[in-house]
Amino acid sequence: DRGGACVKKRPGGSVSTVLGMVLLTAVLGLAVLAGSPGAGPWDPTSAMASRGPVIAGKIPVEYVPWVAKAGGLCPQISAALLAAQLWVESGFDRTATSRAGAQGPAQLMPTTWAAWGRDEDGNGSASPRDIGDAVMAQGRLMCSLAASAAGSGYPGGVVPLALAGYNAGWGAVSKYAGIPPYQ
């Protein structure tokens, strides 16, 4: 881990990981829009809650209200992006723990959780393993990273830079003035 969430060791490095997340976000976004009757913005209560996941086995129903809420925190970060990120980080596994120590469905490191975590679901405890707590922390962190990306002047675009900051830490994005070349 380099500050944000768990840095995945995959062939092709972080550029392909970030581009993969952007592509997955587009696919999920199209699936969400295709699942909604009529035109207009996605309404999770009508489009998903009554039918279950948009993509069977990919977005568990218990995540839907939290992803929708967190996706409305700032204009740069969509519900589809957050859902794609959760899928890539943990496969929606709330019990996931990385070798580096990142925890829960959003794969937040303890220091990151300490900064961004709150008891969002009202159960009396803030936990990176609670779906609502984790997804809202993920959304707040991503909005902050998007703001940093927008003001940075670095090439690559706001969303890819925010994803790179989440995965490698904003310090790494700053060091390389863009998406880090990590493998």
- Which positions are annotated as active-site residues? 89
Q: Please give the backbone phi and psi of residue 103, each rounded to the nearest 5 degrees, phi first.
A: -125, 150
In the chain, the N- to C-terminal Cα span, in Å, equals 12
For residue 74, give the 3-state DSSP assignment.
coil
Q: What is the number of other CB atoms lying within 10 angstroms of the CB of residue 177?
A: 12
Distance, in Å, from the CA atom of 174 to the CA atom of 23, rounded to the nearest integer, reads: 24
Distance, in Å, from the CA atom of 64 to the CA atom of 61, rounded to the nearest integer, reads: 5
Helix %, strand %, coil % of the chain (to 5):
55, 0, 45
